[in-house]
Amino acid sequence: MSPPRALPLQVPAIVVGTTAYRDADTIVRLLTPDHGRVSALARNARRSLRRFGGALDIGNKIQATMRPSQRGMWGLDGADLTDGRLHIRSELGRLGLLAYACEITGRLAREEHEEPKLFGLLDMVCTLLDAATHTPATGFRMGLEAKALTFAGIAPVLDRCSACGHAPEEPMVINPQLGGVQHADCATTRGVAVSIAWMQAVEQLRRQPLRDNLDTHPPAGPAWALAEAIEAHLGTALKSRRVLSSLLTDEPPR
């Protein structure tokens, strides 16, 4: 006798990625507040426009109807669009930031664990990007990275030496493997020089609301240091990073 079919759940979610599967199916990667990162199989999603329509576009906020699966993948029975983030898609810079935010939060989120902070961060990023009239400045992206690291429990130490714990005193360096900044004399691996002004600015970006960072340009320093910290934690490169760096004209290329 086959086991009873699991009852469907109504789950708020944000689409963080999709992958074509077989002839007409789609594997949808979702970020949810109560279940963290979820991979769900949407059968015939590429064949039946009536069933899903455009609800499964990246960055969309949906109310997902899902069933837990005994084989490790959820089943996605339906998706009601809550917010399509339509204005973001009119500008490549904001669209690149959307994809980047989805990849960062989706990759850092754990499977089958509550992740309300990462979900809330991504939802806020999408809301701000949709309301913006221009591509946000560098401080917005770095604030996103810093907050994502914090909510994932791996916040970099920026207000003191992560090796000795003493107050910062230049020269200071940062390296993705260090867990934060260190005195140059304390560092056991080679790092990139950073100023105390840069450290203080990034720490402020981490703590203050993202909406306050839309037009913030941090002091000169390693523009992608926090992205490299995320990549070091994940053990792989962020695919959207290269595309994003080519779209943001106020930032150096990767």
CA–CA distance, 188 with 190 (Å, rounded to integer)? 7
- Nearest residue to 140 via CA among 113, 121, 167, 118: 121
DSSP 8-state class, residue 24: T
Q: What is the pLDDT of residue 5?
A: 58
Question: Where do you find CATH 2.40.50.140 in the chain?
Answer: 9-84
Spatial contact of 139 and 226, defined as CB atoms under 8 Å apart: no
Q: Which amino acid is at 155?
A: A
Question: Where do you find CATH 1.20.1440.120 in the chain?
Answer: 87-247
As assigned by CATH, the class of the 9-84 domain is mainly beta
Q: Given phi > 0 = left and psi -120 to 50 = alpha, else beta, which region is 98?
A: alpha
Q: pTM higher than 0.85 for the full model?
A: yes
Spatial contact of 218 and 67, defined as CB atoms under 8 Å apart: no
Q: What is the mean pLDDT of each run of 10 residues along the chain (254 residues)?
A: 65 96 92 96 80 89 88 88 93 96 98 96 98 95 98 95 96 89 93 96 97 95 95 95 85 47
Phi/psi of residue 123, nearest 5 degrees: -60, -40
3-state DSSP assignment of residue 121:
helix
Q: Which amino acid is at 211?
A: R
Token output for 184:
């140059």
First to last CA, the chain: 57
Per DSSP, what are the bridge partners of residue 181?
174
DSSP 8-state class, residue 3: P
3-state DSSP assignment of residue 79:
strand
The residues near 185 (Cβ < 8 Å, ≥ 6 apart) are none
- Number of Cβ within 10 Å of residue 34's Cβ equals 15
User: What fold, for 87-247?
Assistant: de novo design (two linked rop proteins) (1.20.1440)
Q: What is the pLDDT of residue 70?
A: 62
Burial of residue 97, with CB atoms counted within 10 A of its CB: 0-12 exposed, 13-18 middle, 19 or more buried = buried
CA–CA distance, 244 with 253 (Å, rounded to integer)? 9
Token output for 161:
């030496």
Q: What is the pLDDT of residue 41?
A: 93
Q: What is the pLDDT of residue 253?
A: 41
